[in-house]
Amino acid sequence: MLGKQLSTRIDGAVVREKIAKGIEEDKLIVLDFDGVDVVSNSFADECFAKLMLDFDLPTVKAHTTFKNATPFIKAVIANSFKERLHVMHTA
């Protein structure tokens, strides 16, 4: 567990590398947010949305699942994907 507040890009990058390795190994990665109060936009972008630089969205969705995430955390993560997709399609 990284803590109650997941906020830095550095922590996001560390977790993203672990998720990417799991995807490459064709594993299902369960991300448990039990005890997590806040996920920042920066963490969500770095950790989750940037996965789309290496994998397509259906692949990311097929290999990840979120457990114990509050509606707010789910919204932050969903927004990070939406923003990253927008950036990728307008670049």
Q: In this structure, is the dihedral angle defined by the CA atoms of residues 19, 20, 25 and 27, taken in order, positive or negative?
A: positive
User: What is the reported pLDDT for 45?
Assistant: 96
* Strand pairing category for 29-32 and 64-67: parallel
Q: Is the pLDDT of residue 85 over 70?
A: yes
**SS3 assignment, position 27:** coil
pLDDT at 1 over 80: no
Supply the pLDDT for residue 12: 97
Q: What is the maximal distance between C-alpha atoms in the chain? A: 37
* pLDDT score for 48: 96
- Cα(66)–Cα(74) distance, integer angstroms: 8
Whether 62 shows a pLDDT value over 90: the answer reads yes
Q: Where are the domains of the chain?
A: 5-90
* Distance in angstroms (rounded) separating the CA atoms of residues 24 and 43: 21
| Residue 42 confidence (pLDDT) above 90 | yes
The arithmetic mean of pLDDT across residues 9-38, rounded, is 96
Cα(13)–Cα(54) distance, rounded to whole angstroms? Answer: 13
